[in-house]
Amino acid sequence: MHLAAPAIILALRAHGEHGVVVRALTPNDGVRAGYVRGGRSRALRPVLQPANTILGEWRARTDEQLPALTVELVHSRATLHTEPLPAAALDWLATLTAAALPEAQPYPQLYLALAGILDAVEAAPLARGWAGAMARYELLVLAQLGFGLDLERCVVTGSDEDIAFVSPKSGGGVSRAAATGYEDRLLPLPNFLRAGGEPDWPDVFAALAITGRFLARDIMTDRRADVISARDRLIDRLKRAVA
């Protein structure tokens, strides 16, 4: 097995006295794990940070063996880990991607989307411009794993007009007319999730309520306490930042 590719670091785990097992997302070969010799050294610690982009080279004698991984830094986002809000964003995005995606399955759209939102966090650390994109990324993760929400038409009437809510059970859109009398049982749907554009903060948090519900129910079912806590920290910091 030999693979050379750019990759975004997602997670690290100490292995042995000096080494680290790194999981990283590649554009065309999905999430790949590899053992980095000396990964806890002073020279490599700044390189092996979640959200950093590397050029990785994985080598193994067999497909079953954990590959040895050598890394070259392409782009560092390590300084963002010193700022609470962007650090929480990077932590959640990397944690979600690492926890949700199976090994060695290609997700080129997710790679491009993750790279784009990481760039947006880096460009605007105070969340202006990227918080809404994070909700869209979560929607994309759901869709890529087979749990996509149908926000284009009403599950009750079949109409594609005035979709204003989401059913927390089916994940389908519900029109304003069909929701009459049941609004408190449904999730408000911010328009930017369907039509794009720059959302205001109430719309951002409404979108995150939708994606959070289905991530917890459909993807993080057996890992909710460990994984969703990273998301909870991020949303708490977002709310404090805009209060």
Q: Residue 159 belongs to a domain with what CATH number? A: 1.20.1440.120
Is 43 found in the same domain as 17? yes
Is 84 found in the same domain as 55? no
- Strands 187-188, 53-59: pairing is unpaired
In this predicted structure, what is the pLDDT of residue 224?
59
Is 115 found in the same domain as 225? yes
In this predicted structure, what is the pLDDT of residue 125?
74
Is 121 found in the same domain as 217? yes
Cα distance between residue 11 and residue 226, in whole Å: 14
Is 94 found in the same domain as 64? no
Distances, alpha carbon 115 to alpha carbons 46, 51, 56, in Å: 19, 9, 16
In this predicted structure, what is the pLDDT of residue 226?
74
Query: Residue 146: pLDDT band by 50, 70, 90 thresholds?
Result: very high
pLDDT at 169 over 90: yes
Domain final position from 56, 76, 96: 76
Q: Which residues contact 79 (CB under 8 A, 6 or more apart)?
A: none
Query: Residue 228: pLDDT band by 50, 70, 90 thresholds?
Result: confident
Q: Which long-range contacts (CB under 8 A, 24 or more apart) does 62-67 make?
A: 62/1, 63/1, 65/1, 66/21, 66/33, 66/34, 66/35, 67/1, 67/3, 67/32, 67/33, 67/34, 67/35
Number of domains in the chain: 2
The position carrying tokens 């080494």 is 19
Is 102 found in the same domain as 51? no
Half-sphere exposure of 217 (CA within 13 A, CB side): 13
pTM of the model: 0.93
Quote the domain boundaries for residue 222. Answer: 80-242
In the chain, where do the E strands start and end?
A: 2-15, 19-26, 30-36, 53-59, 68-75, 150-154, 163-166, 172-175, 187-188
Residue 138 CA from chain centroid, whole number:
6
Domain final position from 19, 54, 76: 76
Is 88 found in the same domain as 66? no
- Strands 150-154, 172-175: pairing is parallel
pLDDT at 222 over 90: no
